[in-house]
Chain A
Amino acid sequence: MIAFWILSPIMVAAALGILFARKAVHAALLLAVVMVGLAVLYALQDAPFLFAVQIIVYTGAILMLFLFVLMLVGVDASDSVVETIKGQRLMATVVGLLFGAVVVLGVAQVSLGAVTGLAEANADGNVPGLAQLLFSRYVFAFEATSALLITAAVGAMVLAHRERLSPKQTQADLAAQRMRDYASKGLHPGPLPSPGVFARHNAVDTPALLPDGTPAEASVSRVLSARGAVRSAPATDVDRLTDSMGDGTSNRAVTRSGPRGPIDGDPSDRARPEGTEDQA
């Protein structure tokens, strides 16, 4: 019972959190808290099977499904605080409180008699007991539920399906399209540069450097660019590296560069093959 008294405030607080959370993801996670708490309460009440099912099915599958959809819809889709329907919030609170008060009071008034307990029902174990009922008295409901599950799966497929409006482009089509784009617009026909290849870091958010030291925008996901999460290629890093390599000549090509290579610098730099520079 102690478990109950510890868990119930947490669960109620989490439920209230769902009401007030601004971001939908937070609400989902708070719902997970409630569900796990409920699972423990089932365990408390001699329903171990349901305890397991609650966690596996409800929290593990259904809630994850929620999260998937949230991901597809937009993780940061948040409600604005302003209520558009006049008086809705107030009325909802009032009626909700009234409803809650009435039901709670009603429930409190009811005398349920002595709790029989599930010792006898669980005599052969909870799962066999459930199976007994499931396959004798509720077998028709069981069969109907299986049909329901199939229907639901098929329904989801049908609803989420998107009809292809144009024929699928084969690889040859894609290659030809790339060539056409190069011919007309000068777009690079080859694959995009991978990020951070020519610089010290090969993280996703670090752009690759072009021969003249400028960052190549095409090497970083435009999502990251849009978010402003792109790290600049640290020029000091390269300098430090070459300094640590010990020939003392600073490669000014990184900072002062023209379109085709170093503007000024030692002729000895030119002699060094460019391929050795990308040991970062």
Chain B
Amino acid sequence: MSATPFLVLSAILFTIGCVGVLTRRNAIVVFMCVELMLNASNLALVTFSRVNGNLDGQVAAFFVMVVAAAEVVVGLAIIMTIFRTRRSASVDDASLLKY
């Protein structure tokens, strides 16, 4: 199986994740798009591990998953704390650093 289609799919998913981060206003949905990006890179890592014939790529993907898990935990806790104080989960609320 050629690796290129997998890489192209990974690129497409990554781009969609990027655009999602830029476009969505709900903090949790933005976070989900970030997870999508991470997943896309995982796919690329696994594909390359297959291309190179060793398992380093899969180990890397494994670590990415672990880190993503930890990150989601803390990130969502933060969002929840913000939501408790602000009663809103919109990312546009943090706009004090403007001209």
Direct contact of A and B (CB under 8 A): yes
Which A residues fall within an 8 A CB radius of B? 1, 4, 8, 11-12, 15-16, 18-19, 24, 27-28, 31, 34-35, 38, 41-42, 44-47, 49-50, 53-54, 57-58, 61-62, 65-66, 69-70, 72-74, 77-80, 83-85, 88-89, 92-93, 96-97, 99-100, 103-104, 107-108, 112-113, 115-118, 120-122, 126, 129-130, 132-134, 137-138, 141, 145, 148-149, 151-153, 155-156, 159-160, 162
Do A31 and B55 have beta carbons less than 8 Å apart?
no
Determine chain B's interface SS by DSSP, over half rule: helix
Given A69-B76, A112-B51, also A103-B19 (CB < 8 A):
no
B interface residue count range (under 10 / 10 to 19 / 20 to 34 / 35 or more): 35 or more
CB distance from B22 to the nearest CB of A (A): 4
A/B interface sample: 15 pairs, CB < 8 A: A19-B20, A31-B36, A38-B39, A45-B6, A47-B46, A47-B50, A47-B61, A50-B42, A73-B83, A84-B25, A108-B4, A115-B50, A117-B53, A129-B55, A145-B67
Do B58 and A130 have beta carbons less than 8 Å apart?
yes
Contact with B35, one of A11, A31, A108 (Cβ below 8 angstroms): A31
Q: Which of B2, B71, B72, B78 has the most CB of A within 10 A?
A: B72
Contact bitstring B36-52, A, C-beta under 8 A = 1, else 0: 10010011001101111
Report how far A138 CA is from B58 CA in the complex, Å.
12
Do A156 and B73 have beta carbons less than 8 Å apart?
yes
Report how far A210 CA is from B84 CA in the complex, Å.
39
Given A19-B20, A88-B22, A160-B81, also A121-B76 (CB < 8 A):
no
